[in-house]
Structure 1
Amino acid sequence: MLVISLAGFIPALVNPVGRRAPLTFLAATHGIVFLAWLLLFLTQSLLVAKGNVRWHRALGFTSIGLLALMIPLGFETTAAMVRRGFDLSGDQHIVQHADGAASLDVYQASIFNFGGLLLFASLAVAAIYYRRRPEIHKRFILYANISLMGAPITHLIGHNPPLVLTPPAVLVPIFILLLTGLARDYILAGRIHPLTVLLAVGSFASFPMWGALIGPSPAWHRFAAWISQ
């Protein structure tokens, strides 16, 4: 997930010539905080792998502070993107559907960003709540982090012209990431934990639900327009 995030966002930082707009303070702050979260996740995983549970728990309090920053930053960054016509932080600008038939419906597209943020927040809070139950805690935090991958995957595809930025193109890498939890359970334990199945299936099912049911609805359009003001 760190590699995907770096590969998705670094090209526009290393070579900003192709940017559609300057990097804003909001987008930069958002990126730094979310990167800090993934680095914390890596550190916490390594601490547990080495059996250093005491430091893992002590450092875990940092996640609460980062989470308190991530949620409002993620919300405001998405709202700002919608106001700019779905400008991806000035990095890329989506103006049409893949078939070129119509302009992108920014309110409909925003469901994936707002929905992903809500999914991440819910799973991360659940992981903190179950912090004393490792088998539950680690599954919630893994799938919370996978829910953040939509944005970096979108940017990664956009920086590679042979790839076409479509919903399936974004969903396939996310689907592979969701499968890693299932594979890990089966390889190490010989069975798949029920919570892993629930989180993997529920996470994947959320995308067609957002895209086909909620996003196109007039109620969502009115709500998205209101919260993006």
Structure 2
Amino acid sequence: MDAAASTVPASVRNNGFYLGMSVAIAATVIGGFGSFALRGFVDVGRVPYWVHVHGAVFVSWTLLFVMQNAFAHRGSMALHRRMGWVAVGLATAMVPLGVVTACMAVVLNRVPPFFTPTIFLALSALELIAFITLLTGAIRLRRSTEWHRRLMLCAMVAIIGPAFGRLLPMPLLGPWGGLAVMSGQMLFVAAGVVHDLASRGRVHPAYAVGAAVILVEGLAVPILAATPPIVWLASALAG
């Protein structure tokens, strides 16, 4: 090992697990939305332009998430930090794009068939809140590698619910669909917990934070969907 490599902390050099997790998450996202289109559930040619923009930004974020883990895995931390600000820019664009796309889906009656408009709006809102919460924590704690990479992983997991919704047989799951999606998300968190136990002998508290946020995100969807503001918004947009 050369001198430069020897100066890289073990916590950075030995994080192939996080690279593998980022690839698995990217495969879930691309596989979910890609298979949905290939099965004929969406006419790509007739999709509004803002949906394409939203999709392009989200895919770019997903691929950058993989790249960032690859940079960290090989110890290229200077490049990782520079690209981190690109990631912040993409994340900043994802939030308003997510809001516009969700609202316009209701306006144009393009809500996925396994969601009601109220559930779709509630899910979109809670997903963005969970993402912002975990991402903000990860950015604030970026100098603490152990917190940063776990919160980034959980932030990514928080926004892949729609991908699971397109992979799972949602019409057959009925009222259990939301729980199934959340369970799929929690599998990624569980993998992180198992890895911590195997590699450190204990679970880092970042996973408790991430799991709590993701559980609240999933369990609160039907509650928020039934509130007067969401019911009114869904009706106003559809009308």
- Residue 48 of structure 1 aligns with which residue? 72
What displacement does 1:137 show?
Answer: 1.2
Q: 1:155 aligns with which of 155, 166, 170?
A: 166
Q: Provide the rounded CA distance (Å) in 2 between the counterparts of 1:196 and 1:46.
A: 21
Letter of the 2:228 partner, please give it: P
Q: 2:148 aligns with which of 134, 137, 145?
A: 137
Q: Provide the rounded CA distance (Å) in 1 between the counterparts of 2:140 and 2:235.
A: 33
- Residue 10 of structure 1 aligns with which residue? 34
- Residue 93 of structure 2 aligns with which residue? 69
- Residue 17 of structure 2 aligns with which residue? none
Q: 2:187 aligns with which of 149, 170, 176?
A: 176
- Residue 84 of structure 2 aligns with which residue? 60
Q: Provide the rounded CA distance (Å) in 2 between the counterparts of 1:80 and 1:214.
A: 19
Identity %: 24
- Residue 99 of structure 1 aligns with which residue? none
What displacement does 1:225 show?
Answer: 5.3
Letter of the 2:42 partner, please give it: R
1:52-74 CA-partner distances (Å, limit 9, x unpaired): 11111111111121112111111
1:90-131 CA-partner distances (Å, limit 9, x unpaired): xxx34xxxxxxxxx6412442111110111122112222222
Match status 1:32 vs 2:53 = no
- TM-score w.r.t. the length of structure 1 is 0.81
Q: Provide the rounded CA distance (Å) in 1 between the counterparts of 2:41 and 2:62.
A: 26
**Residues 111, 120 of structure 2: 8 Å contact kept:** no
- Residue 7 of structure 2 aligns with which residue? none
| Secondary structure in structure 2 of the residue aligned to 1:132 | coil
**Residues 118, 234 of structure 2: 8 Å contact kept:** yes
Letter of the 2:225 partner, please give it: G
Count of residue pairs the alignment pairs up: 212
Q: Could you list the runs of 5+ residues in structure 1 that have no partner in the other structure? A: 95-103
- Residue 98 of structure 1 aligns with which residue? none
| Secondary structure in structure 2 of the residue aligned to 1:87 | coil
- Residue 207 of structure 1 aligns with which residue? 218
| Secondary structure in structure 2 of the residue aligned to 1:191 | coil
What displacement does 1:139 show?
Answer: 1.7
Cα gap change, 1:185/1:105 in structure 2, threshold over 3 Å: closer, same or farther? same
| Secondary structure in structure 1 of the residue aligned to 2:168 | helix
Aligned alpha-carbon RMSD (Å): 2.5
Q: 1:117 aligns with which of 102, 123, 128?
A: 128
Equivalent positions of 1:83-102 (< 5 A) are 83-85=107-109, 87-88=111-112, 93-94=113-114
- Residue 221 of structure 1 aligns with which residue? 231
- Residue 106 of structure 1 aligns with which residue? 117
